[in-house]
Structure formats: structure tokens, C-alpha cells
Amino acid sequence: MSVDLACNYASLILYDDKQDIKADKLVALTKAAGVTVPAYVAQLYVDTLAKKKMETLLTVSSAPVASSAPVTATATTTTTAPD
């Protein structure tokens, strides 16, 4: 498991448990999962989450944006029979 994924899961676990998301808690949770996360990486996650509410991150829609140009797919295959 990557460090980023481990920090994401640990953040979600802490949020779901209604605990403050702190670097030491992220490091402890990821360590329990067998992933070594440097303290500075955990702190980067904490700083990022401090700027945005977790509720906002979880409810943001990722709906596709309409394209101004129509997308067409044309595939041409040419096969030749062996002689």
C-alpha cells in the first residue's frame, strides 16, 4: 500500500470515529497497518485537511464536464488473408 493511500484511509478512519485528525494519529494508524509514513508526510495531510472540511471533500461531485466538441470514435482495421 502506498503512503498516500494509507494516509487517506487513516484520515477517513479518524473522521468516521469523530476524532481530530493529527499527524501522530495518522502515523500510529498507518504503522498498525504495516505502512511507514514519515512524520512530515502525515503533517502535510493534516495541514491540507485543516484548509478544507472533510465533509466538503467527501461530498464534492465528480460529474463529467460536457465537452464542446462531439466525441466520435472511428476504428479502421485492415486484415489481409494469407496467401
Q: Where are the domains of the chain?
A: 3-56
The rounded distance, in Å, linking the Cα atoms of 45 and 9 is 11
Q: Residue 38 has what pLDDT?
A: 92
pLDDT in tens, 24-83: 999 999 999 999 999 999 999 899 888 777 777 777 766 565 555 555 555 555 566 666
The fold of 3-56 is Arc Repressor Mutant, subunit A (1.10.10)
Q: What CA–CA distance (Å, rounded) separates 73 from 10? A: 41
Distance (Å, whole) CA 3 – CA 22: 16
pTM (two decimals):
0.64
pLDDT at 65: 56
